[in-house]
Amino acid sequence: MALPDSDAWSKKFFSDGWRQAAAEQPVVEPATGDQLGTVGLATAEDVRRAAARAAQAQREWAATSPQERAAVLRRAGELFTEHAAEVQDWLVREAGSVRSKAGFEVGLAVGECFECASLPTHPQGEVLTSEEARWSLARRRPAGVVSVIAPFNFPLILGLRSVAPALALGNAVLLKPDPRTAVSGGVVITRIFEEAGLPAGVLHLLPGDGSVGQAVVDAPEVRVISFTGSTPVGRAIGERAGRLLKRAHLELGGNNALVVLPGADVHKAASAGAFGSYLHQGQICMTTGRHIVHESLVEEYTAALAAKARALPVGDPAREDVALGPIIDRRQLERVHSLVTESVAAGARIAAGGEIVGACYRATVLADVTPDMPAWREEIFGPVAPVIGFSTLEEAARIVDDCEYGLSVGILGDVGTAMKLADRIDSGKVHINEQTVNDEPNAPFGGVKASGTGSRFGGAAANIEAFTETQWVTVRPDIADYPF
């Protein structure tokens, strides 16, 4: 399976085979600006044709045996394992991932495929009681055609975590990756399933601009939209899906809190905090965006976190051994810096970082932060760690919840105290004595408030709920007698 410089996909999109695109876009390495290849861009008309073909192919795919569908998912997992180094290289160069992050993402992809291979043989309903002399069943049926819209930051797993379960459960998929990561978030997934034996017409790769995104939502054949991305775009998709009476599973932003309790090991806490804030340059929905530290530790913690930040090298992860790679593009890089400088102008103090280095941003710590500062209120999506103090558990809970988002919270320190705090906060995920960035294929993943519409990824129950419809079925031994 050749991915780099392959005529199989260059300047093409995938819909019943690789098709020449009417338009194309360069694949750019964010660290250097070098062109790595060229992807084809689909049009809204391409989407309409793909959706019609997907609806036809989906009926045939759903009719295959559970064992056949499971075999395709298992083979996909094996192929990700066999080609791990190749896929990692694309994540490093196209998405700006450091090598360890790329390896972690490929490992998640392998686990996702193997986990989803069990879905076709998982119980697909329940037997109900009935007042009538009949059998009463509630069974789960494939939703039909699913549109998956994925972001740039973890392009492989954030597309695959919807593609794999949707396929396993008998659906067809229209995949629209972020154009900035269309290879690692689209071509890789498509080529893997192509090699794994997925029948023609079941999966379509449709990179493109906003008109393509609108088309994969609007297509009449599409019944479910799975979107991972920013909250503003998610709101627009949710509104549009609501008018069309379609289900939209929205995994959106986060401004996640790490709470350091009194008595916590400061150096271990700072290590956890640095990982949570600086992994993949902070370009993760689960990134630790707010450090809430007990007043007895706040100065020591800030100093320890700043020392960690200063020690982290930045640069080109394809050519250097670095901890932080490039920000995805110049626009986002400048946005990160503006949030820092605006907060400094409002009174924050830079304890570490605060600098643009080429295409990168140094790991940054902000002290003397107040809750009204931009770096505290907004999702930065960059390697910035604002720190604020608290005095009581009630105050910590209030600070955590004083945020429009509710995705992930980490609590470091005494477990009993952490449990009491966990019961008081509103978050889709809580991790005690861990930082905020956590993900496993079998665990429910989702947030509350502006972070999305709930846990729609991870584990059989969430995936079956997301990508199937419930059908009530009754069976009588004979035709019933009616009074008409």
Which active-site residues does the annotation give? Answer: 251, 285
* Strand pairing category for 364-367 and 349-352: antiparallel
CA angle 154, 250, 276 (to 5 degrees): 40
Q: 131: burial class by Cβ within 10 Å (0-12, 13-18, 19+)?
A: exposed
d(CA 30, CA 35): 9
SS3 category, 4: coil
What tokens were used for 7? 């005529």
Q: How many CA atoms lie within 13 A of 150 on its CB side?
A: 31
Q: Do 206 and 15 contact (CB within 8 A), yes or no?
A: yes
Phi, psi angles (nearest 5°) of residue 356:
-85, 130
d(CA 441, CA 142): 21
* Strand pairing category for 360-361 and 23-28: unpaired
DSSP secondary structure letter of residue 184: I
Q: How many CA atoms lie within 13 A of 285 on its CB side?
A: 29
Name every residue whose Cβ is closer than 8 Å to that of residue 310 and which is 6 or more positions away in sequence: 352, 353, 363
The count of other CB atoms within 10 Å of the CB of residue 315 is 19
Sequence-separated contacts (24+) of 242-250 with Cβ below 8 Å: 244/217, 244/218, 246/217, 246/222, 247/143, 247/223, 248/224, 248/453, 249/162, 249/224, 249/225, 249/452, 249/453, 249/456, 249/466, 250/452, 250/453
d(CA 433, CA 476): 55
Residue 140: strand pairing partners: 470
Buried/exposed code over 382-421 (b: 16+ C-beta within 10 A; e: otherwise): bbbbbbbbbeebeebbebbeebebbbbbbbbbbeebbeeb
Q: DSSP of 69-84, one letter per residue?
A: HHHHHHHHHHHHHHTH
Site of tokens 């809430």: 292
The count of other CB atoms within 10 Å of the CB of residue 366 is 27
d(CA 284, CA 276): 9
Site of tokens 């008309």: 45
Could you tell me where the DSSP H helices lie in 117-252?
A: 155-168, 188-196, 210-218, 231-243
